[in-house]
Amino acid sequence: MTDVDSEDLVQRAGRIAGWAARTGYSLGKRLPGADSAERSLRTLEQRALGELRRRLESTGDPYLATLNQAPARHTANGDADVRPGAITVIQQDDPLRVAMAELLNRSTGLDRDRSRDYLYATILRQLTPDEARILAALSDGSPFPLVDVAERAGLGTGRFVLRNASTVGKQAGVSLLDHVPAYVTRLIGLGLAEIDEEAPALSTQYEILLTDDTVRAAEEMVKRARIVRRTVRISPLGVSFWQACAPG
């Protein structure tokens, strides 16, 4: 199947399912021969989902292995629907709705362990290689210095021009040192790392961090800079995630 044929297949399935959803049409009850039409539609839909999965497999997506192992959907009468990726046709009208239906269908059959694996696989597929290096550096629980650069205002702190600069990137050996603040911010956003108070024992490392090009450039962006010192460390979720995913 060519890429053009694949795109056409996915689009046709979406258009037909969308028409069914918008009109409330029940393929199994309204017209003579509708049973055959429904089977054809489901076959088309399964081919489209199969093509989407093939594309994911070709990219080596680590999330897909967990997705494929999730329990099958159950039908309304309680019988297991063993077809991979089975969905309710009349509820779908675009790829986003298909994806949500897939998650909702699978949620009814996931136990605690499978739910954890699904969560971790979803987090894993969002990490960049540099972020994985930083998480590995944080994995022993050690705190690393972190600074924010803000504009000093008359009665306190004004706007922040840099957040979450840290020496952890250099320690981890990341490729893009100027992106460390963004990496740390993303790890915090994913719940894998957390911010803590300043650690006086890291005073030397704070001084080294203040000489970092990214920090110095941020200071030059404001008339009077205020440095906010904190630390970054792995979070409880990060610990569990690393224990489950760490190689070797």
pLDDT at 70: 46
Residue in 108, 117, 101, 2 with CA at minimum distance from that of residue 45: 101
pLDDT at 147: 98
pLDDT at 5: 52
pLDDT at 110: 85
Asked if 87 and 97 touch (Cβ cutoff 8 Å), the reply is no
pLDDT at 73: 46
The CATH number that domain 129-245 falls under is 3.30.110.190
pLDDT at 30: 45
For the chain, the domains span 3-124, 129-245
Torsion sign over Cα 45, 118, 71, 24: negative
Stretches where the chain sits below pLDDT 50 are 4, 9-10, 13-14, 16-31, 56, 58-60, 62-63, 66, 70-76, 78, 80-91
